[in-house]
Every structure is written in C-alpha cells, then in structure tokens.
Structure 1
Amino acid sequence: MPSGLINANPTVYERQERRTRNAPADVDELAVEPIDQLEIFDILFYIKDPEHPYSLEELKVITADAIEVDDKRSHLRVTFTPTVEHCSMATVIGLCLRVKLMRCLPPRYKVDIRVEPGTHATEAAVNKQLNDKERVAAALENPNLVDMVNECLAPSFE
C-alpha cells in the first residue's frame, strides 16, 4: 500500500440533496424552535474525512438515521461508522463530530458520540475516549490534533 492509508480506496457514495429550511421570523422564534435530527445532520454534513478528500456523508461514516435528538432533555447521540474495522482515525473522526457540535449547539446539550456497534476493533475504547470530558479537553490542548480537526471542519468549496 504505497499511500500509507488504512483504507486507500474507500467506497464513495453520492451526496444527498439538502433540504431547504425556512428562516425563522425573528430571534424569539429561533430561541424556542426545537433542534431535530436533520438539523444536526446539516451541521455535520460537510465534515471532511481526515485521510480522504471526501465528506463523512459521502463515505457513509455519518447518516441522518444515526442521529438521535431528545430536545426536551437536551440530549443528542451521534453514532458513526468507520470505513474499516481497524480505522486508526476513528477517534479523530469522533473528535471532529464533537468539536463541530460544541461550536454549533447551545451548551445545554449533552452530546454522546459513539461508534456503530460491531464496526470497529476497539469500539469500547474509542467510545470511552470520545465521551470522557478530561480526555477530550486534553486532546484539544494538542496543537497538531487541533489543526487536523480544524482542517476537517474547514468549509470546502469543491
């Protein structure tokens, strides 16, 4: 494998059509409108894969069906599926999802990021790392890791 990538030739899917949303009439409407599954998917839609020039949506790492929102309890669960069972970037992908949601959602939300059961060799360890506040905070103190996350979250104009 000359490229050094774990999954040098991932399956790439067509992008889904984006839904059109009506803008809220005023700020008060925005404040009380509940957040739903498709809104969270819209937030995560364009995150780029750390190893490939594709979005997580194009690689089917993230799908709308894998997002659960309980707006009344301010709880959100995102389940993602790595492209291969031994993906070394699974924690980086999960960190990208968490950081994007931290930047976009009100702080009242409790966010759980999970690997789809049975899709990763070290699923329990990855889940533990992604949902431990101290570990996430420590990861976000690493400038190289933050640069990688920011690159994945940067808008793409392709």
Structure 2
Amino acid sequence: MVSGLINENPIIYPKKERRLRTDTSITDELTPEPIDQLEIFDHIRDIKDPEHPNTLEDLRVVTEDSVEVDDENSYVRVTFTPTVEHCSMATVIGLCVRVKLLRSLPSRYKIDIRVAPGSHATEDALNKQLNDKERVAAALENPNLVEMVDECLPSEE
C-alpha cells in the first residue's frame, strides 16, 4: 500500500451478491463460451485498490454496469470511477484492470479501459495513456510498477 493517502476515508459500499452462471445452452466443447458483462466484472471486482485494503468493488471504482461487452466483435470496455478526481493512483488502477483482463481473456479481445467522464482532473490524458499499447508495454517493463500491479491483483484460486 502507498503511504500518504490521497483519500484517507473512502466510502465502503456493500458488495453485490455473486451470481452463478446457469447458461447451459452450449453443449459442444469446441464452441467457445460467450463472455458477458458479469464474467468480466467477476474478473475485476476483487482487484485491490493500490491505496487501501479494499477492493475496487468495495469502493465502487468498478461496478457491473461499468462493464460493456460485445462478444460477437471481441470487444470489452471497462469504465472506472476513481474515488477522488485528483487520484494519483488512477493510472495504476487502470493498468491493474487491463493486466487482469489480458491474463484472463482470450487474446482476440480488444480491451478498452476508460476513466468515467468527469471523474478525474486529467481524464483525457489518462484515457490516452491507458489505451496506448506502447505506453502500457513500457509500464509493464518497470519492475516496481509490475510488483505494485501484482500486489493489487487477486491470487488465482
């Protein structure tokens, strides 16, 4: 965790109940299962905030409604809302979401990570940075940043 908190007293929200997927319409084991909003949310909901011991879901940085999926076109967009508009950890949060989805989804998916409109002082710069392949690749070459991201990601069960 980071010392010198930007948001010392974040609001903690109740978690949504986890729902089980019950779609059994696909019986062919060679047919890929469709990916939906709930599945993406399940992948990212337990990412820890870099500043607090809470998850992104606890802080409502991500919600199920902030996830858009177009499975047919292999497209996922996650729009997250930092807890304060001057959050210095917004880039790390976005990078955590991207890395988690890159590790979880088939490579055919285009992943778009955005900060919610009006929720951050440097919204345009953040969106550009989080979706620039070269900047993301450079960030993931920084061992300190990778360590921070890995600490935020939930361990695989």
Q: Return the TM-score normalized by structure 1.
A: 0.91
Q: Trace 1:105-144 onto structure 2 (pairs within 5 A).
A: 105-144=105-144
| RMSD between superposed Cα atoms in Å | 1.9
> Residue 59 of structure 1 contacts residue 83 of structure 1 at CA under 8 Å; is this kept in 2?
yes
User: Structure 2-normalised TM-score?
Assistant: 0.92
Letter in 2 for 1:47: I
Superimposed CA distance per residue, residues 7-47 of structure 1 (whole angstroms, 9 cap, x where no aligned partner): 01000001111012349787716x42210000100111110
Q: Which residue of 2 aligns with 1:60?
A: 60
1:12 aligns with 12
Q: Which amino acid aligns with 1:149?
A: V
CA distance in 1, matches of 2:128, 2:67: 19
User: Distance in 2 between the 1:45 and 1:154 partners?
Assistant: 9
- SS of 1:128 mapped into structure 2: helix
Task: Report the counterpart of residue 33 of structure 2 in structure 1.
Answer: 33
Give SS of 1:93's match: helix
Q: Report the 3-state secondary structure (helix = DSSP H, G, I; strand = E; otherwise coil) of the residue aligned with 1:28.
A: coil
Aligned mates of 1:46, 1:27 — CA distance in 2:
31
Residue of structure 1 equivalent to 2:81: 81
CA contact (8 A) 1:61 1:80 kept: yes
- Classify the secondary structure of the residue corresponding to 1:98: helix
Letter in structure 2 aligned against 1:51? E
Gaps of 5+ in 1: none
More off after superposition, 32-41 vs 51-60: 32-41
Q: CA deviation at 1:79?
A: 0.1
Q: Measure the CA separation in 2 of the matches of 1:49 and 1:149.
A: 10
Deviation at 1:156, TM superposition (A): 9.4
Runs (5+) with no aligned partner, structure 2: none
Letter in 2 for 1:126: L
Q: Which runs of 4+ in 1 moved over 2 A?
A: 21-27, 154-157
Instruction: Name the CA distance, whole Å, in 1 between partners of 2:73 and 2:141.
Output: 30
CA contact (8 A) 1:46 1:155 kept: no
Post-superposition shift, 1:128? 0.4
Q: How many residues align?
A: 154
